[in-house]
Amino acid sequence: MVVTNHFVDFDWVLQKRVLNFCNAPPPHTGVIIADTLSKCFIDWGIENKVSNITVDNASYNDVCIRRLREDFSPKKRLMQDGLGQLGGVIDVVREWIKYLNNSESRLLEFAKIKKQLQLPSRKLILDCPTRWNSTYLMLASGLEFKDVFSRYADIDPGFHYVFTDFEWMKVKEHLRVMAGTKFDKYWGESNVLLSLGAILDPRYKIFLINHTFPVIYGEDAAPRFVAEIRDTLYELYNEYVDCHIVSHSEQ
């Protein structure tokens, strides 16, 4: 996709400048176009300076503009500022994936190591920085391949920096913080009509942590953390029942 700037100069002459050539994978939907433009705005540092966007009447442009408006709303910026406070881990993982994606040969070597370690053949995910849910997926995929990163660094001198075990713990902490917001958002904005009782039902929360905790804490440690949360929920429930019985008896 070509990003072009049209403007009228001081002599009232219409000017045109090509600003960027961007990789926009098909299909070329409004979502893809919006995400591509978002990355440009962020790279240029103008995401908070865009005041007006004019488009033609193609239907995908409606989706594109709505998406951009959501991306750069004050609420979304506040969420991203919060993630930025967690440290530079996200930026490092993002740069790793960009470095690998920029070369087919690097990706092939990375894939060979994944195969040697008998890891899933899933691809690395590069996030759109304005979408915190895509940042969650990027970190989760990076954590899954942490051993691959360390081995790849041994064969590529250009891959300068590899996390220590402590820094990988920070990645897990990032995921833990983000997971609560991510899945609360999922249930709140799902297209499926859910009753309030279903949204608050702890059984759905248990289902979600059963799915996410193995990614965050590993297959071995996850059952212990899930059990702790389940036991805590039962304690709260039993306390509520006891209070209800006492209150009902008094009445």
SS3 content of the chain, % helix, strand, coil (to 5): 65, 5, 30
Per-residue pLDDT, 130: 65
Per-residue pLDDT, 21: 92
Nearest-angstrom CA–CA distance, 146 and 112? 14
Per-residue pLDDT, 239: 79
Per-residue pLDDT, 249: 64
Per-residue pLDDT, 120: 76
Q: Which residue has the higher pLDDT, 60 or 207?
A: 60
Does residue 215 surpass a pLDDT of 60? yes
Nearest-angstrom CA–CA distance, 193 and 203? 17
Residues in the chain: 251
Does residue 229 surpass a pLDDT of 60? yes
Provide the β-strand partners of residue 204: none
pLDDT digits (tens, 9 = 90+) for 59-75: 788 888 888 877 776 55
Per-residue pLDDT, 165: 80
Contact present, 101 and 110 (Cβ < 8 Å) = no
Q: Which residue has the higher pLDDT, 167 or 21?
A: 21
CA 77, 83, 84, 85 dihedral sign is positive
Provide the β-strand partners of residue 4: 18
- Enter the DSSP assignment of 117: T
Nearest-angstrom CA–CA distance, 133 and 182? 6
Confidence of residue 183 (pLDDT cuts 50, 70, 90): very low
Domain ranges of the chain: 1-72, 73-250
pLDDT digits (tens, 9 = 90+) for 73-126: 655 554 555 455 455 677 788 888 888 988 889 999 999 998 888 887 778 888
- For the chain, the C-alpha Rg in angstroms (whole number) is 23
Contact present, 126 and 97 (Cβ < 8 Å) = yes
| Mean pLDDT estimate for the chain | 76
Does residue 189 surpass a pLDDT of 70? no
Per-residue pLDDT, 84: 56
Q: Which residue has the higher pLDDT, 220 or 247?
A: 220
**3-state SS class at 83:** helix
Of the listed ranges 96-100, 167-171, 174-178, the one predicted with least confidence: 174-178
Contact present, 55 and 69 (Cβ < 8 Å) = no
Helices of type H across 85-221: 89-101, 104-116, 132-144, 146-155, 165-189, 196-200, 202-217
pLDDT digits (tens, 9 = 90+) for 2-38: 888 888 988 899 999 999 998 887 888 888 888 888 8
